[in-house]
């Protein structure tokens, strides 16, 4: 419940930033343009980005005849979550990982790498699948798309603000000046990025908790996360883009940073996730 409230509040702040800078930059016209632009980008990203991601990672639909246990696992947990069974995909990579995507319950997708299939026990893999189905159940694809789009809109408008400030934007009589424009152009994108990342981390905590509840056991996912973090450092993902970091169950490209770098991470630290999972009681 706490993570859900946190997500709503952070999305509200992002929305406020979009509206404020739109208003500052172009008055009511600028505000309208910002809103229209955000809606168009949201629509495109929400309905088509999953196809791009699957293509990017060369994911192929997993034949049920070849992966019967995986399909059975997905079907069982989806039934417990009261959602349609997602399609199952395999990513040809040694990096042990998984992600969920898709614009809705009826066309959702759970993808796992070849690396994770060979690393985890059946129960640990079940914990990971439960985490990914939790993302689908909690509509995290929609939430992350909205957050990412708002952050993109803010960065775009901030770039316009920089141009306007340098080359003669609004004057003092109109209520603006070069310094305020430049401060907005610099600080707004940073704030938006930090909020977007905070939303991503809160949704990971929520998916961990929801997934554990679906299988009525938090230990398998905690054990799986420890293995994924350790083995992932030896087998980093060698394709795709860091822009998709938030989709994977653990960071696929590098290890964790220091305390300051936690602000710029798409995921909470694995240690903290394991700690919270072990604190859950069923």
Round the average pLDDT of the chain to a whole number and report it. Answer: 79
At residue 14 the predicted structure's pLDDT band, cuts being 50, 70 and 90, is low
Q: Read off the pLDDT of residues 197-253 as tens digits, 9 standing for 90 and up.
A: 888 888 999 999 999 999 999 999 999 999 999 888 888 888 877 777 788 999 887
The closest alpha carbon to 192, from 163, 153, 161, belongs to 153
Tokens of 6: 């946190």
Work out the percent of the chain whose per-residue pLDDT is above 90: 40
The owner of tokens 């903290």 is: 272
The whole-number pLDDT of residue 4 equals 46
pLDDT score at 175: 47
pLDDT in tens, 138-159: 988 777 776 766 666 676 666 6
Name 94's Cβ contacts closer than 8 Å, sequence gap at least 6. Answer: 113, 114, 115, 235
pLDDT value, residue 21: 60
Which of the residues are catalytic?
132
Lowest mean pLDDT among 3-17, 38-52, 194-208: 3-17
SS3 101: strand
Cα(227)–Cα(124) distance, rounded to whole angstroms? 10
Q: List beta partners, residue 61.
A: 89
- Give 57's pLDDT tier (boundaries 50, 70, 90): very high
């Amino acid at each position: 419940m706490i993570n859900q409230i946190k997500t709503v509040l952070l999305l509200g702040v992002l929305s406020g930033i979009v509206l404020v800078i739109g208003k500052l930059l172009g008055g009511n016209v600028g505000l309208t343009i910002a809103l229209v632009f955000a809606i168009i980008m949201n629509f495109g990203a929400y309905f088509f980005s999953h196809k791009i991601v699957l293509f990017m990672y060369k994911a192929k639909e997993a034949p049920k005849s070849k992966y019967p246990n995986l399909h059975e696992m997905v079907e069982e947990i989806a039934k417990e979550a009261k959602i349609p069974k997602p399609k199952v995909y395999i990513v040809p990579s040694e990096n042990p990982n998984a992600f969920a995507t898709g614009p809705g319950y009826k066309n959702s997708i759970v993808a796992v790498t070849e690396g994770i299939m060979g690393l985890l026990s059946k129960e640990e893999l079940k914990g990971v699948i439960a985490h990914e189905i939790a993302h689908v159940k909690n509509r995290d694809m929609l939430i992350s798309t909205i957050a990412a789009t708002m952050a993109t809109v803010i960065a775009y408008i901030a770039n316009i603000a920089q141009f306007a400030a340098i080359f003669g934007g609004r004057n003092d009589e109109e209520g603006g000046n070069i310094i305020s424009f430049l401060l907005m152009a610099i600080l707004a994108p940073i704030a938006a990025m930090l909020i977007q990342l905070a939303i991503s981390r809160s949704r990971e905590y929520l998916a961990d908790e929801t997934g554990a509840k679906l299988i009525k056991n938090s230990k398998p996912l905690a054990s799986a996360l420890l293995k994924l973090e350790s083995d992932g450092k030896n087998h980093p993902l060698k394709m795709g883009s860091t822009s998709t970091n938030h989709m994977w169950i653990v960071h696929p490209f590098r290890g964790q940073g220091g305390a300051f770098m936690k602000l710029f991470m798409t995921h909470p630290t694995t240690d903290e996730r394991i700690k919270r999972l072990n604190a859950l009681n069923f």
